[in-house]
Structure 1
Amino acid sequence: MIEKKGEILSDLYILDCGLGSELKRKGFDLPDWTNSIWSAQAIIDEPDLIVEIHKDSIEAGSTVITTSNYYATPLILKDKQSKFDYKELSEIALTLAERAVKQSGKDIMIAGCFPPINVSFRPDLTPNKSEVESFYETLAEIYKGRVDAILCETMASIFEGEIAADVASQHFKKVWLSWNTRGLNPSLIPSGEELIQAAKSVSKFNLDCQLINCAHADLITESLEILKSVASNIGVYANSSIHTSREKQLESYENISEVHYHHQTEISSDEYAEFAKKWIAMGCKIVGGCCTTTPDHIKKIAELRS
């Protein structure tokens, strides 16, 4: 174990619900995340719907909403031959979050999203260091003075996690970094590196919190046990699902979607809240929802907070 850094957070922050699945639930024609710009398409086609979803989460009890530019990255936009620029879409995403907070009339934090630069769970597609640094530096300039925290989301390798943490910590006081796990193995991140080594690798940046996101609720609980041995503050925003089998293990990066999403059973908001109780009891200071979570999931978490 290494020395933990950072002050202990005194309050429970509640993140918002999953954006992509909520867009789909509300009738948006959401393209497949593996071969499109996914939820970023809604920034272009249905910006008011994004504001509505932000407000739904706020009304449900979120104290933090995250900007909606998760898939608005230069590599994804270029690969899908989009005419839109990631800087433009990220600026719009921030404006939509600001609009939602203003319309809510509540004192809500905005977390600026530092997403993976390429497709989720695919660290093999990450480019060189200078390209990744430039991406995050550009986002930092857009967010500067307008967000309350940076949330580095779904980090899949130590390489990308360290770059995101480094850039974010140079520009912002409050930085949260969230790791993803490799298939159905709660002790590894998608690159195949040990989660505990990943957590140790970014401890030097004195982050406010390290989290786990976008994995089954039951498996994430195992990951949090690892994370809390290193990080001063831990957090979680899981998928509203539990795994049904570990027989199908990750064989390559190409089949990671199958492993992540095809061996699962969705759970209700009440069942999710039972996991959230465990996470809070474990010491989680940030709790929210990822894929297939709804405002009702957030409401159940908020009830635990009160």
Structure 2
Amino acid sequence: MARSPLPSALDAVLERFTFMVLDGALATELERIGFELNDALWSARLLREAPETITRVHRAWFEAGADCAITASYQASLEGFRRHGVSEQQALRLIRRSVALARRARDDFRRAHADDCRPRPLVAASVGPYGAALADGSEYRGDYTDDERTLQAFHRPRLAALMSERPDLLAIETLPSLGEARALSRLLPEFPGARAWVSFTTRDARHISDGTPIRDCAALLAECPQVVAIGVNCTAPHHVGELIGEIRAVSDRPVIVYPNAGEHYDPHQGGWQPQATPPAGTSPFGELARQWQAAGAAIIGGCCRTTPEDIRAIAAQRRRLR
């Protein structure tokens, strides 16, 4: 049976604004300014090597119009860092640092824009799936373990490290399987202060990556009061409108959508297949945000390969809707 969500930092934003604007692709921006991230740690490697750059990119997303920064902890795990020769204690420090860097960017932005009528920006600590640590693209397939104890043992120390820095939210994102969503929803009560959104990767407009209907996922998560929003990310934009309807059919939680730019990820080659790009200075995400908000989305942003131009277009659309 669905249970009402607990109060969260989302409430103050969604009470005042038509929707909340998320940031875009952190790793895409890091690559654009010259970092090579094609390894198993992805952007998490820069938590150790270039933390100030991560802060600078978070700040750029706020400047583009984002109300919420998602931390660079998506690929950060004890196992992943261990394979790169990082001790457990140092790995935990780096995971905690991801929240501190985003918070610093948020606080610097607020000081510079004290009179801005935008919402108080939030920090969401990214919790990527078990498949992300495997670094084989399986977060887009979900073909790994559904053993609840294994999944919870993987996620527990990272959740503890992230929550110790008191993020506004947990961004449990890019989940490809119902089993992992269930394991995490049963783990959240160990962290009573946690409020999380949960978002899935999908194979089409009705099913997540492992083939489970998105309705089943939303219905399951609506039973967890610490889950305060449900949605999809790193999904093809043309699926999003129908996915919003599927989620809303079984849940009254705010719907969160932050799809990729429309490219297809090839896990075998380890890269994104190119697509036609819009003319410079334009973005389809403004019109898409209008459509998604009309369909019922309450939180809208971008995932892989999206740019500050896309987030500016989404933020401009919200200003028009107000």
- TM-score, scaled relative to structure 2: 0.80
SS at match of 2:73: coil
- Give the corresponding residue for 1:224: 244
- In 2: Cα distance, 1:258 partner to 1:267 partner: 25
Note if contact 1:17-1:290 (Cα within 8 Å) is conserved in structure 2. yes
Note if contact 1:217-1:272 (Cα within 8 Å) is conserved in structure 2. no
Q: Which runs of 5+ in 2 are unaligned?
A: 112-119, 133-138
Write the deviation string for residues 151-170 of structure 1: whole angstroms up to 9, x where unpaired. Answer: 11011111111222333355
Note if contact 1:5-1:231 (Cα within 8 Å) is conserved in structure 2. no
Asked if residue 25 in structure 1 is aligned to residue 32 in structure 2, the reply is: yes
SS at match of 2:284: helix
Comparing 104-113 and 137-146, the one that deviates more: 137-146
Specify the code of the residue in structure 2 equivalent to 1:171: P
Q: What is the CA-CA distance between 1:242 and the residue it aligns to?
A: 6.2
- Give the corresponding residue for 1:276: 289
Q: What is the CA-CA distance between 1:66 and the residue it aligns to?
A: 1.2
- Give the corresponding residue for 1:140: 159
Asked if residue 210 in structure 1 is aligned to residue 230 in structure 2, the reply is: yes
- Give the corresponding residue for 2:209: 190
Write the deviation string for residues 20-78 of structure 1: whole angstroms up to 9, x where unpaired. Answer: 1111111111215xxx2111122122211110110001111111111111011234344
* Counterpart pick for 1:101 among 102, 106, 129: 106
- In 2: Cα distance, 1:208 partner to 1:133 partner: 20
Note if contact 1:73-1:117 (Cα within 8 Å) is conserved in structure 2. no
- Give the corresponding residue for 1:171: 192
Note if contact 1:165-1:175 (Cα within 8 Å) is conserved in structure 2. no
Task: Give matches, 1:75-90, under 5 Å.
Answer: 75-78=79-82, 80-83=83-86, 85=88, 86-90=91-95
Note if contact 2:258-2:303 (Cα within 8 Å) is conserved in structure 1. yes
Write the deviation string for residues 197-247 of structure 1: whole angstroms up to 9, x where unpaired. Answer: 11112111032210110011112222222112122121100111267xxxx
Specify the code of the residue in structure 1 equivalent to 2:286: A
Go from structure 1 to structure 2 and tell me whether the alpha carbon gap of 1:267 and 1:167 turns closer, same or farther (over 3 Å shift). farther
Aligned CA RMSD, in angstroms, stands at 2.8
Note if contact 2:146-2:179 (Cα within 8 Å) is conserved in structure 1. no
Specify the code of the residue in structure 1 equivalent to 2:76: A
SS at match of 1:118: helix
Go from structure 1 to structure 2 and tell me whether the alpha carbon gap of 1:127 and 1:283 turns closer, same or farther (over 3 Å shift). closer
Equivalenced residues, count: 289
Note if contact 2:263-2:272 (Cα within 8 Å) is conserved in structure 1. no
- In 2: Cα distance, 1:278 partner to 1:131 partner: 40
- Give the corresponding residue for 1:262: 273
- TM-score, scaled relative to structure 1: 0.84
The percent identity for this pair of structures is 25
Asked if residue 54 in structure 1 is aligned to residue 58 in structure 2, the reply is: yes
Go from structure 1 to structure 2 and tell me whether the alpha carbon gap of 1:299 and 1:76 turns closer, same or farther (over 3 Å shift). same
